[in-house]
Amino acid sequence: MPLERRSWAEPFKIKVVEHVRITTHEQRERAIAEAGYNTFLLRSRDVYIDLLTDSGTGAMSDRQWSGMMLGDEAYAGSESFYRLEAAVRRVYGYTHVIPTHQGRGAENIISRVLIQPGDVVPGNMYFTTTRLHQEMAGARFVDVIIDEAHDSSSEHPFKGDVDLNKLERVFQENPGRVPYVSVAATVNMAGGQPISLANMRAVYELAHRYGVKVILDATRVAENAWFIQQREPGQLGRSVAELVKDLCAASDGCTMSAKKDPIANIGGFLALNDAAIAEAACNLLVVFEGLHTYGGMAGRDMEAVAIGIEESIQDDHIRARIGQVLYLGEKLRKAGVPIVLPIGGHGIFLDARAFLPHVPQEHYPAQALAAALYLDAGIRAMERGIVSAGRDAVTGEERKPKLELVRLTIPRRVYTQAHMDVTAESVCEVFEQRESIRGLRMTFEPKLLRFFQARFEPRQ
């Protein structure tokens, strides 16, 4: 048999297991009602397969766990920080490394350092925390992603690409008011869709022509690199490690949630090439996060992140990680379940508009679908639609995103192929019963990042 036709398996074996509880339908009915039909408010003991997020939920390796014992917990000058700094410089190539407690800590700092009230920040689709920090620093966010990204059925290979015409228009219409372009690798809200290396470089070149910086959200940059290796002309055969370096080289700095690619349970950093910006960031760091040699992480966490960074750029790791996502996605696609295509890097995104055409967007179809999926077999997913999009910062109106999605996010190295089979069966079962799913009414709405804690009740 030719090699590519043969089965593959993960490049690891399992050393430690954690038991999960299987609940009854009655228990789940009670649990989801108590959670106000918001999967964020479920207790994890009531969840069978947890696909809420790939953030901080990965299985650390034996090397990472042994690194935890080596953590240097000195308040200042921790050895663990210097190991983290060296790993970031080696793998991503930036000069200055500023540790933060997680990704949004880095987003807060860079937004406050670079943004003046009244500024405009263009980006390839928003991410919830990233945009909020930009807005809280006084900026207006403008989405400059290609139109295909908002179309769940478009099979464009790089739906994370920036539309260069849209970007240039933002520069021309707001001279002197664009501090940086916010570019994400594997765009989360678009369905885990990659940006091409050619587009990343073109964005950098265009931005620099207008004197504007580029800040990369590197949270899932290794996964993005794998898609470039697989799909981009001229890049086939290059290693994920090389491609990660190239992506980062087309930016002036990055924010990182080390809870994703680097498979740590907590942690993050801001990395920069400009010494003056790094100094300003360090100054704010001591106010919001901690000293510049720990920034909100314990020494042991910095060790786990440093080791995880190296593991995250191994080709065999990424191939298996994205291979598992593909396995689940292909099953659902073949069963006719409407999902975002192409299949993305960190999860499968159900298209709730196509799944529940009878539920209007104001009745929160994706939220209702996530609750229905939990009820069927205890699988926890996440709404990524109108609830996540929140309200316009100026008008207070609900934003109505084109994409109304439910994300089945696959944690790294945690679940088996059998878990994926069970998940696919449950989604198919819910799909068969889709006509009986009703929308929801919001009964409690938090002011900021409402999706985390909002509560709902079923509509009659």
Question: Rule CB under 6 A: which residues touch ligand F0G?
Answer: 53, 55, 102-104, 127, 129-130, 184, 188, 217, 219, 257, 259, 268
Q: Is 260 a catalytic residue?
A: yes
The one catalytic residue in 50, 217, 301, 351 is 217
Least CB distance from residue 253 to ligand F0G, whole Å?
14
The one catalytic residue in 220, 260, 380, 413 is 260
Q: Of the two residues 215 and 440, which places its CB atom closer to ligand F0G in the complex?
A: 215
The one catalytic residue in 37, 127, 158, 415 is 127
Q: Of the two residues 345 and 439, which places its CB atom closer to ligand F0G in the complex?
A: 345
The one catalytic residue in 21, 62, 63, 75 is 75
- Quick one: which of 254, 167, 162, 271 has its CA closest to 210? 167
Q: Is 75 a catalytic residue?
A: yes
Least CB distance from residue 27 to ligand F0G, whole Å?
25
195: left (phi over 0), alpha (psi -120 to 50) or beta: beta
Residues 6+ apart with CB under 8 A from 142: 120, 121, 122, 123, 170
Instruction: Give ∠ CA 418-240-220 in degrees, rounded to 5.
Output: 65
Give the integer Cα–Cα distance in Å for 262 and 254. Answer: 14
Strands 405-409 and 347-351: antiparallel
- Quick one: which of 149, 115, 109 has its CA closest to 129? 109
Least CB distance from residue 347 to ligand F0G, whole Å?
9
**Residue 35, token pair as written in the block:** 């959670």
Strand order in the sheet with 180-184: 96-100, 268-272, 253-257, 213-217, 180-184, 120-123, 140-143
Least CB distance from residue 13 to ligand F0G, whole Å?
27
Q: Where is 278: in which H helix or E strand?
A: helix 275-288
Residue ranges of E strands in 381-439: 382-384, 405-409
**Residue 399, token pair as written in the block:** 């934003």
Q: Of the two residues 229 and 255, which places its CB atom closer to ligand F0G in the complex?
A: 255
Q: Of the two residues 163 and 261, which places its CB atom closer to ligand F0G in the complex?
A: 261
Q: Is 453 exposed, middle or buried (0-12, 13-18, 19+ CB in 10 A)?
A: middle
Q: Is 444 a catalytic residue?
A: no
CB 323 within 8 A of CB 330: no
Q: Is 349 a catalytic residue?
A: no
Q: Of the two residues 193 and 219, which places its CB atom closer to ligand F0G in the complex?
A: 219
Q: Of the two residues 28 and 104, which places its CB atom closer to ligand F0G in the complex?
A: 104
The residue whose Cβ lies closest to ligand F0G is 103
Q: Is 384 a catalytic residue?
A: yes
Q: Is 219 a catalytic residue?
A: no
Q: Is 213 a catalytic residue?
A: no
Least CB distance from residue 116 to ligand F0G, whole Å?
22
> Would you give the DSSP letter of residue 348?
E
Q: Which residues are catalytic?
A: 75, 127-128, 217, 260, 384, 451
